């Protein structure tokens, strides 16, 4: 089965993407997946691959992470991120961080350099400074698009559901390297016009992501409060431990979230043998995967395009 390895799968967030931003979203995930694929083909670890892939998405203003993050009710950026290593179950996360260009990098440092699993807000920023991570001006993380959506949602007659539509998406990646080790990484700017200090599913182990060499790895996207209530990433891996395929397990987890709570979302999932899935219950989710020098990608349910990665 090792001829399926290595593999990397990324998502650019589940939801509704306005027509004028569709191409940005698809080209963004395709470019990011090439980065992860190159690392894995060169013998790099799954952890290196998912972190570098997500850094590229954080640096792309088309997504709700890093420099494209949505704004909280005060018009400020607060970001969450998580990484998890399937070989050791080591994990690192940050929540409500400000002035950091790449929260995923900081999450990895929490995993590698501390005895903790998650640092939050000012404590996470202090840790970033101690690690030599440069703080960036908040303005550099705010796009005109994010500001426009924020203003629109402040209007007294704003429809919160409609306002969430058209938001850029949380980003994430899962990978299996040549050694068969799995890893996940997820990063987000959170929910549009959220309360200050609100933390969603992304930095929560088992919700925003989970990785275990004994079952697989998942990165999630969607309505955070709903994802947390059913611990979506862990639920999908539970189904895989019961013998379900990556596709079936992903669909079962998403169906449970929808039937119990009415929540929509999406996931990218891999197992240690290199089988993978990109599944979602929302209208759209931009996703891409790279395996055996072939790139796979799509945006709508049932859509699956392929091309040579070279």
C-alpha–C-alpha distance, residues 51 and 48, integer Å: 5
Domain-located, residue 2: no
Q: How far apart are CA 218 and CA 6, in angstroms?
A: 16
Measured over the CA atoms of residue 219, residue 11, residue 42 and residue 104, the dihedral's sign is negative
Model confidence band, residue 162 (pLDDT cutoffs 50, 70, 90): low
Residue 257 placed within a domain: yes
> What would the pLDDT profile of 164-202 be if each residue is shown by its tens digit?
554 557 999 999 999 999 999 999 999 999 999 999 999
Q: Is residue 284 part of a domain?
A: yes
Look at residue 155 in the predicted model and tell me its pLDDT.
Answer: 85
CA dist 81 and 76 (Å) reads: 17
Write down the pLDDT at residue 18.
84
Domain that holds residue 13: 7-308
Q: Cα-flanking dihedrals φ and ψ of residue 267, to 5°?
A: -145, 155
138-151 pLDDT, tens digit per residue, is: 999 999 999 998 99
- Length of the chain (residues): 310
Q: Do the annotations mark residue 224 as ligand-binding?
A: yes
For the chain, where are the E strands, in sequence order? Answer: 7-15, 79-85, 91-97, 118-120, 171-176, 182-188, 209-212, 216-222, 265-270, 276-280, 284-291, 294-300, 305-308
**199 marked as binding residue:** yes
Q: Single out the residue of 264, 274, 277, 305 nearest to residue 13, CA to CA.
A: 264
In a domain, 246, yes or no: yes
44 annotated among ligand-binding-site residues = no
Q: What is the pTM of this model?
A: 0.97
Structure tokens given for 68: 């494209």
pLDDT greater at residue 152 or residue 86: 86
Secondary structure of 113-134 in HEC code, one letter for each residue? HCCCCEEEHHHHHHHHHHCCCC
- Using alpha carbons only, give the angle 256, 9, 18 rounded to the nearest 5 degrees: 75
Domain count, the chain: 1
Quick: pLDDT tens for 46-92: 999 999 999 999 999 999 999 999 999 999 999 999 999 999 999 99
**pLDDT tens track for 233-288:** 999 999 999 999 999 999 999 999 999 999 999 999 999 999 999 999 999 999 99
- Residue 188: both structure tokens together: 């987000």
Does the residue 1 lie in any domain?
A: no
Q: From the CA atom positions of the chain, what is the Rg in Å? A: 17
CATH number at residue 272: 3.60.20.30
pLDDT class of 160 with cuts at 50, 70, 90: low
The question of whether 53 is a catalytic residue gets the answer: no
Query: Mean pLDDT across the stretch 146-159?
Result: 86
Task: Kindly state the tokens that stand for 238.
Answer: 């539970």
Query: Is 198 assigned to a binding site?
Result: yes
Q: Residue 204 falls within a domain, yes or no?
A: yes
- Mean pLDDT, the chain, integer: 95
Cis peptide leading into residue 6 (ω within 30°) = yes
Catalytic choice (170, 202, 220, 226): 170
Instruction: Determine, yes or no, domain membership for 223.
Output: yes
How far is it, in rounded angstroms, from Cα 275 to Cα 280? 17
Q: What is the pLDDT of residue 157?
A: 79
Q: What is the pLDDT of residue 305?
A: 98
């Amino acid at each position: 089965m090792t001829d399926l390895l290595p593999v990397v799968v990324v998502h650019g967030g589940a939801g509704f993407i306005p027509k004028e931003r569709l191409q940005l979203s698809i080209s963004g995930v395709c470019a990011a997946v090439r980065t992860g694929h190159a690392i894995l083909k060169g013998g790099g670890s799954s952890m290196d691959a998912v972190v570098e892939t997500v850094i590229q998405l954080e640096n792309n203003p088309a997504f709700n992470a890093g420099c494209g993050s949505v704004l909280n009710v005060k018009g400020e950026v607060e970001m969450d991120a998580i990484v998890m290593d399937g070989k050791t179950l080591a994990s690192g996360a940050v929540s409500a961080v400000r002035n950091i260009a790449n929260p995923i990098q900081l999450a990895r440092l929490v995993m590698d350099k501390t005895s903790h699993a998650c640092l939050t807000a000012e404590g996470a920023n202090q840790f970033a400074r101690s690690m030599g991570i440069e703080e960036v001006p908040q303005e550099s993380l705010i796009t005109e698009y994010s500001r426009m959506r924020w203003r629109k949602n402040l209007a007294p007659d704003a429809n919160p559901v409609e306002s969430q539509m058209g938001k850029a998406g949380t980003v994430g990646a899962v990978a299996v390297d040549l050694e068969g080790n799995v890893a996940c990484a997820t990063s987000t700017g959170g929910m549009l016009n959220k309360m200050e200090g609100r933390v969603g599913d992304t930095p929560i182990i088992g919700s925003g992501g989970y990785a275990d060499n004994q079952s697989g790895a998942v990165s999630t996207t969607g309505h955070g409060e709903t994802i947390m209530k059913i611990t979506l990433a862990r639920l999908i891996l539970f189904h895989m431990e019961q013998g379900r395929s990556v596709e079936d397990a992903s669909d079962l987890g998403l169906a449970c979230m929808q039937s119990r709570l009415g929540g929509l979302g999406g996931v990218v999932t891999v197992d240690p043998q290199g089988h993978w899935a990109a599944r979602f219950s929302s209208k759209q989710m931009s996703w891409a995967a790279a395996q055996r020098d072939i790139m796979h990608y799509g945006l709508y349910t049932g859509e699956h395009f392929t091309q040579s990665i070279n």
